[in-house]
Homo-oligomer: A and B are copies of this chain.
């Protein structure tokens, strides 16, 4: 996978395949896969009516997809329906799997997701990665990935690709971490250090978190701003069902929007950036707490217990988020803002002041703010599903890979 396949186009419309007979056939294979995948199971006739092709054309495509092991027949549909009973089709639970991985500041994780979207294997290692050499982190992640792949292979799955979420800015080459301040990585070609046996993509964790929300969230619209936090504050902009990446791949740096232009200096070179008010370390400092491993749990616990200083710190963080989001909403006009990651767990104390700023500063109805149900799992799931989607979006790739 040399380029992400989910970029700036609605999922299901297929990647930019050439406008030839061959390209048309590949796009139609994708339409069949997406139609079956969306419904769980579907007859050939139902696929045909859904994608607007003849039943004969669909049968040819389906036979190919069955031969490749991407679809399977569930046997004849139950009687009682009108017409000749058709055999129901389902996406295969064997064959290609997406391997997702996450390099967190305090953990590593890997999982395998089959074409049906089910997590079939996973492994996690807790422990800080701050200031560790990229070589050591990549080697350990490689071991975890091989363990997960071996487990998946025992269930007749094979890795269609490895997608790795990192807490930093990733270049458009999909492998170089340009800047990950909380790991102290700079211009690190992590792609060269990770296992080379599978197609590899590296991307920012906020991007994968947003894609997870898009694909797995309930009623998530196709235009939204996804805001998450680990140590820093990250965001991802989804437009028309695709990520807005920016020229260098750096779009979504909400954490460095100036909230108070004369505020405290920020390591980015600016002053009064959002991260200086709503980043985890700023909030801990304002709350008078020492940083420790489970920072979010600490803040949530204290706020739950009614600690007024912690609540005030979260209230101020919410207000700063609201000011920065007012700017972002004015610029992007998203359908909704989704709070994910650590912000989801802290939302009860952040939301009131956040929404007060957003509403008070907006002409007309303010942009609604939703809280993600995926929480900290988002980036890992988004990474694995991005590989699964790349297979659904162009099923013919399996003939080149398996």
Question: A residues near B, CB below 8 A?
Answer: 8, 19, 24, 27-28, 179, 221, 223, 235, 237, 239-240, 244-261, 267-271, 323-324, 326-328, 330-335, 357, 360-364
Known pairs A269-B362, A332-B246; A240 contacts B8 (CB<8 A)? yes
Task: Give chain B nearest CB distance to A140 CB in angstroms.
Answer: 28
CB distance from A224 to the nearest CB of B (A): 9
Set of chain B residues within 8 Å of A333, measured between Cβ atoms = 245-253
Q: Establish whether residues A363 and B179, one from each chain, have CB atoms under 8 Å apart when the complex forms.
A: yes
Residues of B within 8 A of A261 (CB): 259-260, 323, 357
| Min CB–CB distance A61 → chain B (angstroms) | 13
Structural contact, A258 and B223, CB atoms closer than 8 A? no
Could you say which residues of chain B place their CB within 8 Å of the CB of A254?
A: 330-331
Q: In whole angstroms, what is the CA distance A323 to B327 when docked? A: 11
Asked if B361 and A326 make an inter-chain contact with CB atoms under 8 angstroms apart, the answer reads: no
**What residues on B are CB-neighbors of A8 within 8 Å?**
8, 239-240
Q: Is the CB of B363 within 8 A of A268?
A: yes
- Which of B24, B253, B330, B334 contacts A330 (CB under 8 A)? B253
- CB-based contact A271/B361 at 8 Å: yes
CB distance from A373 to the nearest CB of B (A): 22
Contacts of A335 in B (CB 8 A): 247
Instruction: Tell me which residues across on chain B come within 8 A of A179, comparing CB atoms.
Output: 363-364
Q: Tell me which of B235, B257, B259, B331 contacts A251 (CB under 8 A).
A: B331
Closest 5 CB pairs of A and B: A246-B333, A270-B361, A257-B327, A253-B330, A251-B333
Whether the Cβ atoms of B361 and A269 lie closer than 8 Å is yes
Give Cα distance in the complex from A254 to B327, angstroms: 8
